[in-house]
Amino acid sequence: MIGFIVKGILRDRSRSLFPALIVAAGAMLTVFFYSYMQGGKNNFIETSARYQTGHLKVMTRAYAAESDLLPNDLALTGAAEVVYSLQAGYPELIWKPRIRFAGLLDVPDENGETRAQGPINGLAVELLADIRNENQNRRNLPEAEILNLEKGLIAGRLPERPREILVGSVLSSSLGINPGDRATIISSTMAGALAIADFTVAGIIRFGVTPLDKTMVIADLEDARQLLDMEDTAGEICGFFPDFFYRPQLAARLARDFNAKVEERAGNAGEDPDFLPLMLTLGEQGGLGDMIAIYDIYAFVLVAVFVAVMSLVLWNAGLMGSLRRYGEIGLRLAMGETHRHLYFSLLGEAVVIGLIGSVIGTALGLAVSFYLQAYGINAEAFTKTSEMMMTNLIRAQVTPVSYVIGFIPGLLATILGTAVAGLGIFRRRTAGLMKEFEA
């Protein structure tokens, strides 16, 4: 029976070509948009993890409650010991202490007077410690590699000595800063006092992320500790999976395990609960979990829309085919074929057409998705005012689901359209077939 159906479809292209093209177009668009949305989601997750949240982050509970305000007076003390315990207890992750701070960047002229000044968001990381190979015994990646500093460097070099900083490309342009210039960071210490220190601009960085390019300044961790009076202190300790693929379930399990151990220890020691370490996953910070869920909902809605639209189109195609094949259907009924058998044979044709169209559409969608995964689309013109942590170059991301998702609308829509259009078969009465042939 299947062979008979396939031969009929291949020999009579008038009843299969248009539906197959519709299915192929729908499957191609489904695969492309799904892969592109996955690329956007992974872009957002990876960028947030590298520059803000980590895949996991350890802070004091008081700091976590007010993290948007960068409350360094609530930072973790004894940071070296905390990092060591995290590396020993959770060696499957890379752990990096960091300090975030806000302030002003003052650029003097040749007379030492203020030439330009602008607000900054500072990020202090272990730059010089990696250069001195102090981290070589750790299962680690240099911060320069985590933050993609070498790839983003557009002028100058990376810091090699104390009191050297990197400045975001848009910020450097607005303040007229060049590599080698002197700049003063004005901020506040951990105790709330005024903090002022001179730095040399070692290089200019284009992160490709609009919010970072506008305000970001990167300094060495020890320089920031001296500036902010935060000896052996870290605002946060970020944990990263070595392959930078976020695993939400594993991250949640590790966070629960860590927090349970801290609760048990605190109960025995009677420590101040506000300054106990707290581990949060990426999804628990800044509403990122909700945003990831929204991406997944959009992917579901995308498939549902294509199924609905294609079903309507194929339903109409099925009705037209039924009218064109009116005599054929009547003849088959007159020869003794049952309504039920004829109906399911039409569904069999729909399955074959759906498979052919889905294969072609999936292949085309994957080809376009692989191209965009390699080269991406530069969306910088649309992100100049964006505050989202996404790079301006958005790439598609081909996942295992990309290989099969096109078959969902391809098969489902074809079967639904044919199932509805084919209901007219059951209204044909055998007793009236002879009158139809006589006419």
Distance CA 427, CA 342 (A): 13
166, burial (CB in 10 Å: exposed 0-12, middle 13-18, buried 19+): buried
Locate the domains of the chain by residue range: 2-47+290-438, 56-240
What's this model's pTM, rounded to 2 decimal places? 0.79
Cβ-proximal residues to 213 (8 Å cutoff; 6+ apart), any chain: 168, 169, 170, 171, 206, 207
Q: Which residues of 327-354 are buried (b: 16+ CB within 10 A; e: fewer)?
A: eebbebbeeeeebeebbebbbbbbbbbb
* Backbone CA torsion sign across 80, 83, 89, 94: negative
pLDDT in tens, the chain (439 residues): 555 555 555 555 556 677 788 888 888 888 888 888 888 888 888 889 999 999 999 999 999 999 888 999 999 999 999 999 999 999 999 999 999 999 999 999 888 888 999 999 999 999 987 665 655 544 568 898 999 999 899 999 999 999 999 999 999 999 999 999 999 999 999 988 999 999 999 999 998 888 888 999 999 999 999 999 999 999 999 999 998 889 999 999 999 999 998 888 776 666 678 889 999 999 998 888 888 888 788 877 877 787 777 777 766 665 555 545 555 666 666 666 677 777 777 787 788 888 888 899 999 999 999 999 988 887 665 555 555 666 777 888 898 988 988 888 888 877 877 777 777 666 666 555 555 545 4
